[in-house]
């Protein structure tokens, strides 16, 4: 018991340090909080908008799923409407619960020794720990993955109602936090039937999978009906480009970005700032332009955009035409090379986006200390991934389902325009579990 308490205490200290040194309340966090407060205080699931005359109103929205706004609304109701610190402290508790779930999972599929290794790897993992310092969906999403896999194993080994309900909750809440959370239910419902054929019998395994699936769908029935009643659209999740019905989505620009974007720096400096801010063409990487003619054509479009910092239908159509031209000229680059480069960036990039580290950390001559920190983070991330890869070859029980989740999530990420390292964090409960198996096997060999 004492080693467990030491690991949890170390994990708590690390997370408290991140909250003290690197708290971040900005961007999407403010949007989630605004929706949560409006839902709590006015009963309207919507955004605050300011009209031309200065008056403020609340506009119903569907651009974010209700999972995280509901969490924030509960926190604000309990601790105060502006008490973000309470939210962050509660996220510490949830994230430490994730560490215990990962350790419990590894104990079930491997051994006690491996479980302790998993607990320390999870408690001291800075890549997941630092997200408790920002009100975003990541901490809760990672918890849902850990809970979902643990409950999945518990149901297969000794079915109990509480674990069936926990499994349904994990599936449902993961998808209520982010649309890609639905992948947890897709993978592990099929895995429940596959593995349950022998341990539970096909009929019982199928029945449990159906019950969990139906229970997890109930909140989405209410959400879909609400969206139909409010907006007269069928939207069971959330729109891909985070826009409410009637809002213009620059789909031509989105397609154009997929013809050149490959790294988080471009996401941060360009993608997140358009529309809304001027963009300097010098920020674009050289792969954005195929020759001087295309450079000047792009410069002209950006000049038109910068005049008002908005996408008009005409500008967007011009970006769409430019995208079509680039795709015809380089289809392999568009459909294969760039998607895999974006995926590699999400998996392998030093995970320093939550730290006060220069975005272009690789420019060593300008900020040497920050570059060295980024190298250390990159090496640590690679160490976790390599250890997990070794652990896969030992193929612990239910390893196929966990590998399937990582593979399918990675395939889903291939479709994104703008890479962000945080999109792979939902796989880290599995990464840590496999890494712990590898460490335990290595230790066992050393003792022989």
Domain ranges of the chain: 2-241+373-447, 251-349
> How high is the pLDDT of residue 447?
66
Q: How confident is the model at residue 395 (pLDDT cuts 50, 70, 90)?
A: confident
Task: Enumerate the H helices of 55-137 as residue ranges.
Answer: 67-79, 84-109, 112-123, 126-129
Q: How confident is the model at residue 448 (pLDDT cuts 50, 70, 90)?
A: low
- Check: CB of residue 104 under 8 Å from CB of residue 115: yes
Lowest mean pLDDT among 192-196, 297-301, 369-373, 378-382: 369-373
Residue 285 is given by DSSP the state -
Nearest to 107 by CA among 141, 58, 153: 153
Residue 275 scores a pLDDT above 70? yes
Average pLDDT (352-365) is 81
Q: How confident is the model at residue 340 (pLDDT cuts 50, 70, 90)?
A: very high
Task: Give percent of the chain above pLDDT 90.
Answer: 79
pLDDT digits (tens, 9 = 90+) for 186-230: 999 999 999 999 889 999 999 999 999 999 999 999 999 999 999
Residue 53 scores a pLDDT above 80? no
> How high is the pLDDT of residue 429?
98
Token pair of 170 as six digits: 């994990």
Q: How confident is the model at residue 427 (pLDDT cuts 50, 70, 90)?
A: very high
Token pair of 375 as six digits: 């190298």
> How high is the pLDDT of residue 433?
97
Lowest mean pLDDT among 180-184, 291-295, 370-374: 370-374
- Check: CB of residue 173 under 8 Å from CB of residue 67: yes
| Helix, strand, coil tally for the chain in percent (to 5) | 75, 0, 25
Q: How confident is the model at residue 396 (pLDDT cuts 50, 70, 90)?
A: confident
Residues 6+ apart with CB under 8 A from 25: 84, 134, 135
> How high is the pLDDT of residue 361?
79
> For residues 170 and 287, what is the distance between their CA atoms, to the nearest angstrom?
41
> For residues 146 and 431, what is the distance between their CA atoms, to the nearest angstrom?
11
Dihedral sign for Cα atoms in the order 269, 249, 319, 409 = positive
> How high is the pLDDT of residue 411?
97
Residue 55 scores a pLDDT above 80? no
> How high is the pLDDT of residue 366?
75
Residue 246 scores a pLDDT above 90? no
């Amino acid at each position: 018991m004492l080693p467990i308490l030491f690991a949890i205490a170390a994990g708590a200290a690390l997370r408290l340090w991140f909250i003290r040194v690197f708290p971040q309340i900005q961007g999407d966090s403010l949007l989630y909080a605004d929706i949560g407060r409006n839902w709590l205080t006015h009963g309207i699931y919507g955004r605050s908008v300011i009209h031309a005359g200065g008056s403020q109103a609340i506009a119903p929205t569907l651009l974010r799923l209700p999972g995280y706004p509901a969490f924030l609304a509960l926190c604000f109701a309990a601790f105060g409407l502006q008490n973000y610190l309470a939210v962050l402290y509660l996220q510490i508790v949830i994230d430490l619960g994730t560490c215990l779930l990962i350790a419990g999972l590894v104990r079930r599929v491997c051994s006690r020794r491996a479980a302790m290794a998993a607990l320390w790897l999870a408690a001291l993992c800075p890549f997941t720990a630092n997200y408790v310092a920002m009100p975003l969906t990541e901490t809760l999403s990672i918890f849902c993955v850990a809970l979902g896999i643990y409950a999945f194993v518990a149901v297969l080994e000794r079915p109990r109602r509480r674990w069936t309900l926990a499994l349904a909750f994990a599936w449902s809440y993961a998808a209520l936090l982010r649309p890609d959370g639905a992948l947890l239910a897709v993978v592990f419902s099929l895995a429940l039937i596959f593995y349950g054929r022998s341990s539970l019998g096909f009929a019982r395994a199928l029945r449990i999978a159906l019950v969990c699936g139906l229970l997890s769908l109930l909140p989405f029935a209410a959400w879909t009906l609400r969206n139909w009643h409010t907006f007269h659209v069928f939207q069971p999740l959330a729109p891909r480009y985070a826009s409410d019905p009637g809002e213009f989505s620059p789909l031509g620009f989105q397609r154009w970005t997929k013809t050149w974007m490959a790294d988080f720096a471009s996401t941060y400096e360009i993608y997140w700032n358009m529309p809304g801010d001027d963009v300097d063409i010098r920020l674009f990487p050289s792969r954005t332009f195929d020759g001087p003619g295309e450079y000047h054509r792009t410069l002209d479009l950006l000049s038109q955009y910068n005049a008002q910092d908005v996408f008009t239908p005409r500008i967007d159509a011009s970006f769409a035409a430019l995208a079509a031209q680039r795709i015809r000229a380089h289809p392999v680059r568009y459909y294969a090379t760039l998607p895999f480069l974006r995926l590699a960036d999400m998996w392998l990039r030093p995970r320093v986006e939550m730290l006060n580290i220069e975005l272009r950390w690789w420019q060593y001559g300008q900020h040497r200390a920050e570059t060295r920190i980024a190298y250390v983070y990159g090496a640590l991330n690679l160490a976790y991934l390599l250890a997990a890869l070794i652990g896969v070859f030992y193929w612990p029980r239910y390893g196929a389902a966990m590998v399937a989740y990582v593979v399918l999530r990675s395939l889903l990420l291939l479709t994104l325009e703008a890479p962000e390292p945080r999109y792979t964090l939902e796989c880290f409960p599995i990464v840590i579990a496999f890494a712990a198996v590898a460490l335990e096997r290595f230790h066992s060999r050393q003792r022989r």
